[in-house]
Structures are given as C-alpha cells and as structure tokens.
Amino acid sequence: MTDLNSESLLTNRYRLMELIGRGAMGQVYRAEDVLLGGVIVAVKFLAQTLLTPRMRDRFRSEARTSALLSTKSMHIVRVMDYGVNDEGVPFYVMEYLQGHSLSEVITTQNLPLPRFLSIARQICQGLQCAHQGIAIDGSIYPIIHRDVKPSNILVSQDPSWGELVKILDFGIAKILQADANQTSSFMGTLAYSSPEQMEGKELDSRSDIYGLGVMLFEMLTGKMPLQAETHSFGSWYKTHHFQVPRSFESVNPNLKVPKVLESLVMSCLAKSANDRPQTVGEVLKALEPLEQRYNATRQISHRIGEALLRRPVAAPVRDPEALSPDEACQLTTWPQNKPIAQIVFPHVLKTKREEIATVWVMLPQQEIENIQLGKLYNKLYKNFLCCMSPHPMMLWMTALYNQLHHKKIGPRWLRCYLDLKAVEGRQIIRLLVERKQYYVLFFALEDPHHCAYVMPVTLNDAQLAQLQTWTVDSQTWRSIGKPTLSKDILKGEFEKLKLKITGDLENQ
C-alpha cells in the first residue's frame, strides 16, 4: 500500500493523510486533492488480498455505479475519480463525508418520529434512484444494492440542508440484465438479507425493500424484528423463511407508533416478495402523509436552524435587523407576481438593515441539489456586457459549470438585463459597486415557496470599474430606440462569446 509518510502523490494528484476506515473490500483514506487546492476527499483502495481479475472488475463496477448514481441523487455517495496506484492496486476517489453511520445513531439514541421519517424518506429516495437504473451503452440498467443496512447509511450535517443522508457501499450491487449469472453465490449481510437472497435467486428491487424493512424496524425500536439462534447461514436461512417478525408492542410496549407506519414496516418484511410493496416509490408514497402530519413545521424549523447554525445554543434569538445578507436571502419567498417557471430576474432585496443586489432563478430541484452538493467542483463565470445605443442596456451574465453534471449539456447560463435608464437598474449597479458582490438565489420548481440555496458571487476590481463607467455614461446618453433593440444586440454579442466562454470553463 502507498506509504503515507512519503511525499509522492497518488497519480500526481492525491496526498494520502490518514486511514479512516477498513472493511472486507478494502481501506479508506482521508486525502488532499492538491490539484484543486487541497480539497479533502476520501480514497478507497481494494484490499490486496482481493487482487483477482473478478474482484478488480467488481471494484471498478462499484466505482462506476456510484459515480453514475450520484449524479442523479444527493442521497448516494459521490464518486469523482478512479485509478490504479504504482503497486497495481485499484482505487476510487469519493467525497469526504463527516458524520455517523446510521448504526451508530440508532444505538446511541431513540429517533423522534419526525427525524425517523426524514431519514427514512432520504434512504428511500436514494434507493429509488438506484432501482430506476443507470444508462450504459444506451440502455437503462436497474441497480439492486443487495446490502441495505444501517452501517451502509451515513448521516451527516450539511450547513444548507440540515441532516443529510447518503447510501454507501455499492460493492456487491447487481446491475440487472448486465449479468445473467446471479445465482452463483450468496453475498450480503445475513441479518438483513431477504429470503430469496438467502436462496441465491435472481433478485429485484423487492429484495432491497425487505432489507429496508428490517432497518426501519430497527430504527424505530432499537431492536431487530427477527432473531436467529446462531449467527450462521443455516440459522438465518430458517429465520428469514419461517420466523414471524416481532410486533412493535412485543419489543417495546411503551412505543407510540402510528398503526399505518407499523403496517408499512411489517409489509416490507413479508416472506414473499409479492406481498411486499412492489417499489420503493410505494413506500415513499406511504411515508409522505406521515411526514406532513408529524413534521409540518420542518421547513420553517430548517430555515430558522440555518440562520442560527453558527451561534451558541444558549444565545438568544437575534433581532431580524441583525441577520447577515446570506441569512436574509435564505428567508425570502418567491414573488407572487412571478410565474412558477425556469426564469431569471434581477432584484433589490431590502432588509431592515441594508439593500442587497440579487439574481433570482428557478430551476428543477435536482439541478439545485447538484449545484449545491458539488459546490467544491463548480466553476463560476460572471461578467457584464453593455450597449449604449439605441438604448443604454446591460446584460448580466452568471454561468455555472460542473464536469459531473454539465459535461453533456454545457454550462447553466443565468442571464438577465438591466435598463441603465431605469431607477432599479441604476440602483442595482450602485449596490454591485458598493458591496463588490451579489447573491444568486435558487428556488425549486417543485417547492417554490422558499429559497433552496444561496450562492454569493464576488466581483473583481476591473468589473467594478467598468460598471462605474457605464453608469456615468448612461446618465448623459440619450435613448434613440426601444430597449428591446438593445437587448437583441446584447443577445447577439453573447452568442458570439458563448462558445469561447464554454471552452474556457471546460478547460480550467
């Protein structure tokens, strides 16, 4: 294995720092990505005892599966790179996550029902993404995890999302239809394996739902629904096939769980796959009204929590006038006079303390999640174009590019116009020059009633000087045509520059 004390870099890019995990498949190290200025990542190596062609292929498949799935769901650990070290040991690079496994969480504390529902929903959303499949050579292949258990679920605290749940370890996941030989051997964790998995049968998403049911029961009660006499394959085989799962009341008579939730969990534990929910989507549909009922104030609490995140717990609630610009932006709501659509517009955000130059944009929820969770790898472009004739007008451009999400479709362009003769246009430019920055406020199409993410953008001195010049010039410049004509001119100039800017972002 690579020497941690050496100054050499893994593939001239990653500096290993410390061992942070060890499992049956290999070791995980905390590392620095020196190419990106010391960004902390996690590097997983295949165990040297498993360096066979078959295990190499499985390890590479795990990396590919996680990389593809993580572009579709924020609830699956993100893989960014794959390679082989000088000793011939394969590795892949993933995001470094600080948190606790779900097994640690549920062994140290009882989960309040709202928290249980939030964690369960996020797990289901990740599994649903896997079951919907990934595209390989033009075909869609569903992914069955085959090892759904608390130790493969990580719970972390994200400054923007609050408690964030991610599914780990697709090391024994099966790509359906990509390999017809699924009955050769048992792979999984005995206590969480479905009856059909114990038999070595061909599996589908309902096998993961069984493991999910075992885990949900454990999350709610702190106990396992099934108990084998010994920890052997034969004993667990009989247990999963013939033992009736314990009821919630028999495990904990004082536990107060809605009957509909208990029925849902028990249905996931059905011996026959046909008697379980047939898709994770059905489980999500059943959880949704429960979460709405028991966690109706989750969004409000989450937003308040964001504003108070960096303050001591004992500190008094701050006066609204003392909120930072970022906090003020997060507490905004989408204007009633704007359509629920993918639009971009400038706006002066006024608080009791100050005024802020902002750009408001509405995008699909998944795209906002990709932008937010990939922020360490986002490449940002911001600039302005101006046209004084026939009417003083400015094009305000912001572009985001992330190789993981935008490689095929190109940068996400956020463009809006400022009329330099209008009061609001001049006011926004004044704020840009004074504050030397602006904020992009992202709102989700699926949930437009509150701000999903705030991104501050800093301007350089050259841009600030240019804005000042344009502001002064526009005061004396006489308009000789319609503003729309100037917009058309600016749009044409943008199209000329677009290809070069895109190339620069891709090659940075």
Please give the DSSP secondary-structure letter assigned to residue 85: -
Single-letter residue type at 101: S
Range 468-473, long-range pairs (CB < 8 A, 24+ positions) = 468/433, 470/384, 470/386, 470/392, 470/394, 470/420, 470/429, 471/420, 471/426, 471/429, 471/430, 471/433, 473/388, 473/392
The per-residue b/e assignment along 382-402, b for 16 or more CB within 10 angstroms, e otherwise, is: bbbbbbbebbbbbbbbbbbbb
CB 346 within 8 A of CB 418: yes
Q: How far is CA 265 from the centre of its chain?
A: 26
CB 418 within 8 A of CB 393: yes
Q: Which distant-in-sequence residues (6+ apart) come within 8 Å of 212 by Cβ?
A: 123, 124, 127, 148, 268, 280, 283
- Say whether 273 sits in a helix, a strand or coil: helix
Nearest one of 66, 3, 58 to 29, comparing CA atoms: 3
CA 477 – CA 391 distance, rounded (Å): 8
Nearest Cα neighbor of 78 from 59, 94, 92 is: 94
147 catalytic residue (yes or no): yes
d(CA 347, CA 353): 17
Q: Which of 33, 147, 169, 419 is catalytic?
A: 147
Q: How far apart are alpha carbons 263 and 259 in whole angstroms? A: 6
Q: Which helix (H) or strand (E) holds 414?
A: strand 412-419
Q: Is 90 helix (H, G, I), strand (E, B) or coil?
A: strand
Of 305, 329, 302, 299, the C-alpha closest to 317 is 305
- Say how far apart CA 435 and CA 218 lie, in whole Å: 52
Annotated binding residues for ATP, written as ranges, equal 44
> Beta 344-350 vs 134-136: how paired, if at all?
unpaired
Question: How many Å apart are CA 263 and CA 260, to the nearest integer?
Answer: 5
What is the three-class DSSP state of 91? strand
Binding residues: 44
Active-site residue set: 147
